Amino acid sequence: MEISIGKTKLKTITGDITTQSTDAIVNAANSGLMGGGGVDGAIHRAGGTAILEDCKKIIAKIGRLPTGEAVITTAGNMPSKHVIHTAGPVWHGGGQNEEKKLKNCYAESLKVAMDNGLKTIAFPSVSTGIYGYPVNRASDAAVEAVIDFIKKNPGALFEQVIFCGFDSNTEKEYARALKERI
């Protein structure tokens, strides 16, 4: 489904984020930025070694990427231009500020995109795989954080923000979360 918030289209899709031709795709990474499983593994495989080279330079500079923050690298061989890496929270039942940390992942990723003049960006469902965050709650947090950021940053000029589920249930939850906020 697709809705508009001002000049920005918010769209839900089901598919492999590594095939998206956006200015940036977001990676559900970890604080070490050295790759891993899930979407992180898929992005490093599809993009090639140039991504890891950029990640190593970033880690040499900042030590580690704190949960909820985001950094940008090349997308290597993928059709997108950049990868924005964010480290999502591990789900511990909801009592450890997981929602705030997850929303920060979206806000910080969009801030990096805005600071780099990017107009189209695709997000995977950060934290809902290996990190165990429930898909319905994560979809609410994702949609809320993105809408909030767009409303607070009219200078961002985003044309399209894509919520990319890897399975149809995740897309269904994104669509529900969006409909509840129209």
> What does the buried/exposed string (b/e) look like for 26-64 if buried means 16 or more CB atoms within 10 Å of the residue's CB?
bbbbbeebebbebbbebbbebbeeebbebbeebbeeeee
Cα(7)–Cα(10) distance, integer angstroms: 10
One residue of 1, 9, 13, 38 binding ligand AR6 per CB under 6 A: 38
Q: Is 124 in the site for ligand AR6 (CB under 6 A)?
A: yes
Binds ligand AR6 by CB under 6 A, chosen from 11, 125, 143, 163: 125
25 binds ligand AR6 (CB under 6 A): no
94: DSSP letter: S
Using CA atoms, how far residue 182 sits from 131, 137, 147, in Å, is 29, 18, 10
| Contacts with ligand AR6, 152-171, as mask; x by CB under 6 A | ------------x-x---x-
Neighbouring C-alpha atoms within 13 Å toward the C-beta of 61: 7
Binding segment for ligand AR6 (CB under 6 A), chosen from 2-10, 65-73, 111-119, 125-133, is 125-133
For residue 40, state whether it binds ligand AR6 (rule: CB under 6 A): yes
Considering 40, 115, 140, 148, which one is annotated as catalytic? Answer: 40
Total residues binding ligand AR6 (CB under 6 A) = 24
Q: Which residues bind ligand AR6 (CB under 6 A)?
A: 16-18, 28-30, 36-40, 42, 88, 124-131, 164, 166, 170
| Active-site annotation, residues | 40
